[in-house]
Structure 1
């Protein structure tokens, strides 16, 4: 929501104020009337309180005339826009006021809705241009300040940096790079785009003082409320952070987390706080992304973390566990233990061990078995949450163990290997059945089904479905664009049946999967 330009109208004749207030739609023009006054003395008091950006004022008024009022206001502010409303006989006064730096003077008798609208449009354009220049300079200086050495000070911004603010830190929920590969460029939302969105947010009564960025990509929102007692605004500040996250998510189709401090703080102290407590922002990887977190201040010491896991876990241990549910439970326990440390470094190191063990295992899968890629970026939101990372590894290790590939030579029996090879060679046949496979290996269907379930851990039909869905994913990844063609190619009579099977196995419809790859 665009912030309206504030206006005060000053005239000793009530009907003039009434006429100007109703002559145009001020809100539609980008303005809001914040005050009216009937003489210069009253106007000066209201200006000191409200600081309107534009003043429309008469010249001849009781107690203090317009010229004297302008002179006093100029002592406080050389930039405020002042429009002088003059009668014909006041023209000599108008000339005197020019030396005080008025923006414009207009004849009361010549004011129309159109002329007033045009005048306000020109003033607004000038304010926007000046505001943009000032904002760009301030943004640059603030960013330079946060990038400098910890103890450095900035003379150009010193007064602003020492002011107290309520602070919200905003950060995009980027996945952890477990594989060592760079993150896909399309994942990133630029800080310029984030800042642009933040400038258009509705701040619900809070005043936006500054937007800048920290090293590492966090965006700082410095806001203030008219009431200085922060304790009264904790709930409102959290609501503001929630609102900001919602707007960011809608505008950028990405997840963000927000962190707000429980006390007002200067930007000098904020810089120190962020430098000494950077790992506090890592809590989102363990407690969940896309949330609002409250940070305590002052706590200018690093968060205590447990640096060693009790009972060290090795990636190879996952291959010693049989059964999908057992795998899920094992990985869930491992990642809960990591989450207890709140250490992103430990989370990355452990996950990297699991990932490289998986890569080795994938390379050992026989060539006749299509495996597709590890697909680390198929759903990158998994890599922003410790428990989801554990789920991903459980699924992948289960996929590998179903294909019996471990580092040892302890594989399935030759009969089962023949069955698996036959499935991979014929999964595109929609009429492939257990009877066909049993006939191929010269066994009864009942005996083969029992033996396969015992060795592989799932039924033959379920295994065929896994192979078909994996093949479909590979086709989608290589550019296949029609769901019914892919369904037919991997062995389904109808696209509806294919879609149902795909959703049951993956939790997502084929059309949605195509958009992601």
Structure 2
């Protein structure tokens, strides 16, 4: 039986679904219900339902936000929107988020529900069949043995060590490596979101996961001209691909594109993974393979500018851009955040000028510019959320105007616009921070900051300060700019950040210390607020401490 969860703030709506049809005649069973997205998210981790039927407008966390949160935990989760809103915007957003259907409460009949469940059942069975095929083709790890480990080591030695051709040929013969042509290219293949996909895996699971990816890549290139693949590190796989003789650059691009598409197709079919692939120039023998590996690697690194999920060919323009020191750039951005937190207007303006004070002529430099713009928008978004600043006060519109820099003709104009916005934001946050909260809200904040590490609820806070919870919610949002739930979560994350940097505690221990009952939910909220997983945040902090940026 497939499990169903119903999410709706109206109890009659939840109950209606129970008796509208005879659930025993279907392949589904309702395992639980929830009255808002936050409650449903907590229960989702416990029940892992196959189908979620959810309303859109709900208190605390609405249906669309709930879907986005769950998508971060499981990309192919099945959703059905059941709403009283016949609104094109909601329908459009539901489709963008991958909902299976959008139904109106008042018009829902038993036949509609039966048909819907049958449709979702077919989708689930198709996915199950896909997963079964994946098991048959990929999960056979019986050939993952000591010999396979040695082969991986041999391929790394060929690629990274300064070997003679005689030594290389000995390795090729000894390990029966599939290099049967005289022309090659190197692919540097990154699994997009690799850290997020693997952070909960145990060592053995990770080992098998990497082996399965490598096997798909090998099977994809074997079906063309042959070659070999090995896993390097941090979600990076290296494929040394055999080619026919290269008669023209056009043929090289055509063959390379075909090989990359074969790999993508296999990875989508069996593992539903997204890839970024860097492609080297072609070369005649393996003697200089390390040079061509670095070409492919430098090409793949450009996903930070060009976006994930792309095939990027190495050329001289890319070679120039690959020299940008990303560590130094990230350090500058961190320094800018600190200046904004200190409300240092003059130094903030100078730091923005430094970010844009590069030779930004040319196509690839344009992608660098786009990257800086997006980083500044992210800083602005985080500060607005932290200090309760409304976009309407900052931009004179109620959304983040990410298209605004495209309206300017020069880099100097973009730089001046961001400087003006950041100065305005600092002044707004100073006004917000200086605001005197009412006595009741001060009491609520003090209670939260004393008890954040406990499972505190809205009812507890309202009882403690002697206000009705509905009135407390409205007053808290009115004075602080954020709702109570977000305030508690943000406060817990700030405490967690300090523990991550200053202690060696395990992440699940930190989650418990700051009031999260579930480590997975803690990681989800941490990444949403900071833009990094707890592991990534600790790693970047350690790098800064070591002074290696």
Interval of TM-score (by shorter of Structure 1 and Structure 2): 0.3 to 0.5
Q: When the two structures are superposed, what TM-score results if normalisation uses the length of structure 2? A: 0.38
1 or 2, which has the higher helix percentage?
A: 2
Structure 1 length normalisation: TM-score? 0.39
The structure whose Rg is larger is 1
